[in-house]
Amino acid sequence: MCGGYQLLGQSYTTVDGQELPGAGLFDVRSLPGPQRHIGNVLVETILDGQSRTLVGFENHSGRTYLGHLTRALGKTIVGAGNNGEDGTEGAVYKGAIGCYLHGSLLPKNAWLADRLLATALRHCLGADAELPPLDDQLENHAHDSMASRIRAGGRVKSGAW
């Protein structure tokens, strides 16, 4: 998330123009921006063939641009996302996910927490490993309430706070 996401890319350029190498997991490059993007975020995503929404909070001035080897985690409905320009948020490469979303990302998106845990479990124990389903009713209600609240606020220009 956020700074970790930037560091997992190919590079991050500092405010004074110094290009720092990243870990190279994601084919992304991050640059400093002229303003901070602060506020609630709503993202449409398709993971594992299923369309869902993510809710979170962003607070960053970095601008991250995807290369051709990495696909976006999703499209922003509300919020700046990766760079405030192309409508994308986050990156997905193989089983790895990076994003700018803060604000209790996993508790507010129980399905994503379940997906990450299941991926790790399968990686350690094999393809047949499965988690028993939990009752996510409260978490799903919190997600839906937050998504409705963000939608009701309309498209918010980042940096407006």
* Residue 99 known to be catalytic: no
- Cα gap 70→89, rounded to integer Å: 12
The yes-or-no answer on residue 68 being catalytic is: no
Do residues 99 and 47 make contact, with C-beta atoms less than 8 angstroms apart? no
Question: At CB < 8 A and 24+ separation, what contacts does 134-139 make?
Answer: 134/110, 136/110, 136/111, 139/107, 139/108, 139/110
Of the residues 102, 123, 124, 143, only one is catalytic, namely 102
From the list 2, 37, 124, 143, the catalytic residue is 2
Phi, psi of 126 (to 5 degrees): 110, 170
In sequence order, the 6+-apart residues with CB closer than 8 A to the CB of 72 are 66, 82, 88, 89, 90, 91, 92
Helix %, strand %, coil % of the chain (to 5): 25, 35, 40
Residue positions annotated with a catalytic role: 2, 102
